[in-house]
A = this chain, B = another copy of it.
Amino acid sequence: MNNASRDPQPIWTRPVRGSRGPTPGHSREGIVAAAITLADAAGLAAVSMRAVATALGTSAGSLYRYLSSRDDLLDLMTDAAAAGLRPYPEADGDWLDTMVLLGRRQLALYRSHPWLLDVSHRSSGIGPHTLAWFDNCLRVLQPLGCDSTAKFEAIAMMTGVVTLFARSEAGGDALTLAGVDFTAYPHLAAAVARPSAPAPDRDLFERTLRGLLAGLLAT
């Protein structure tokens, strides 16, 4: 069962602590930082409540004094990672150039935090930093006269394309064709047999992103 349905407020607006009681020995920021360190080192699967707790020298049950579920922790981690996208580039030049730069920054973020690709983005998990980034995208797109829904779609599609490239770089979808009987796949066999040209196709990312945004937001 999801925690958001039981807790009155999402993690972003929930109060951290009351006024009574001893001063807490930990904090949400510390827990999130430890979790991110674990995830950067050994992937998202290594981020278990017990692992985070032992990394902080405490117990698993104690973490529930600061968060109400592991999903909350993942949401906090995601937004904390999104804080790394700041500061946002200036929007004085061409909007397309700025958007491509934003996409590059996003790709760099996925490179430094590959576990971001594994956290399934729930709809209620959008934190303040992510919202600020989204808001900044709309700022860059402000001179455009097209509909706001088109802008929303374009931003979402840009993020999606970034994740695709990030996934591709992470080696996830690399075809492992070792031991495959190619007799049933003639075209695949021909493609593999032919020496693939060095293909100095530089900036496939830039080309794709630029074409996509230009096509989606053509005035």
Contact = CB atoms under 8 A, between A and B. Distances in A.
Interface of A: 9-10, 13, 118, 120-124, 126, 128, 131-132, 134-136, 138-139, 142, 147-153, 156-157, 160-161, 164, 167-168, 171-176, 179-180, 184-188, 190-191, 194, 196-197, 199, 201, 204, 207-208, 211-212, 215-216
A100 to B, nearest CB: 14
Nearest to A196: B149
State the number of copies, please.
2
Contacts of A149: 196-197, 199, 201
A29 B204 CA distance: 40
A131 to B, nearest CB: 6
B184 A132 contact: yes
The A interface is mostly helix, strand or loop, or mixed, namely helix
Contacts of A124: 176
B148 A194 contact: yes
Given A121-B172, A123-B174, A139 B212 contact: no
A123 B171 contact: yes
Nearest to A153: B204
